[in-house]
Structure 1
């Protein structure tokens, strides 16, 4: 049970619980479909997520391992290992930053880009109630 000495909040009402339940249900359905789509393409869902976060990083087409770790909510060393597996699979490449040589940029390869775009199209078709992600109006 959460410690309510730090933060006072109203107890959730029935409609709040219903809304949370529906959200979790829809999220779990999407995650299950995502697993199926990724696995059918021969990659893991984490590999797909890494590709998505590399290409979808705001303002540019690459990301650092630290940025990817944050997006994946994972440890930097685990994310570096995931980048290595994607690199071996020919999906990404690492490039040393020209300004700050300590920084390593992760970029998609042509194969990674093709894989991402194909999988992202399939995922987008399954967003359903997640239309708000794309700025769609809900009724």
Structure 2
């Protein structure tokens, strides 16, 4: 059963508190994303390239990452992921290799340069996230209170 089908259906009329909570939450999310985007730009990456490096690293901890896996993770079409990986590879952040078990699949890994840049960005982003976490927690609590009214 989907989580959304278990929820009680609310009237479509939103209150002032609903709008304020949504606006505050979106502001907090946007503020964090703006911080992360600025960090990525400071090392010559776009936000999407940074997200790709992070997805490759996270997935590769448990299994090899294919271009198709990355496309799914980033909500991209396959050909867009191929272009993204090509730009990352040209910049020296990733490398591609054919899958030894299925030569039709292309696997992606981070280079030492990609690992280093990602580690620095991730450390900064985690520090910022720890700073804004109390605000997110409070906003989520407000949303839960609105949901129960």
Fold shared by both chains (TM-score > 0.5): yes
How far off its partner does 1:62 sit? 4.0
Structure 1 CA distance, aligned partners of 2:78 and 2:42?
27
Aligned counterparts of 1:25 and 1:77: Cα–Cα separation in 2: 32
- Corresponding residue for residue 21 of structure 1: 23
Pairs within 5 Å for 1:1-139: 9-11=10-12, 12-57=14-59, 59-60=61-62, 62-127=64-129, 128-130=131-133
Partner of 2:5: none
Aligned residues: 127
In structure 2, what is the Cα distance between the partners aligned to 1:58 and 1:83? 15
Structure with max Cα Rg: 2
Question: Of the two structures, which has the highest relative contact order with CA contacts closer than 8 Å and spacing of 6 or more?
Answer: 2
Q: TM-score, normalised by structure 2?
A: 0.74
Q: 2:125 and 2:83 mapped to 1: Cα distance?
A: 25
Could you say if the C-alpha distance between residues 87 and 61 of structure 1 is closer, same or farther in structure 2, counting changes exceeding 3 Å?
Answer: farther
Q: TM-score, normalised by structure 1?
A: 0.79
Runs of 5+ unmatched residues, structure 2: 1-8, 142-149
Higher relative helix content = 2
Runs of 4+ in 1 over 3 A off after TM superposition: 12-16, 128-131
Q: What are the ranges of 5 or more consecutive residues in structure 1 without an aligned counterpart? A: 1-7
Conserved 8 A contact 2:60-2:109: no
Q: Residue 59 of structure 2 aligns to a residue in which SS?
A: coil
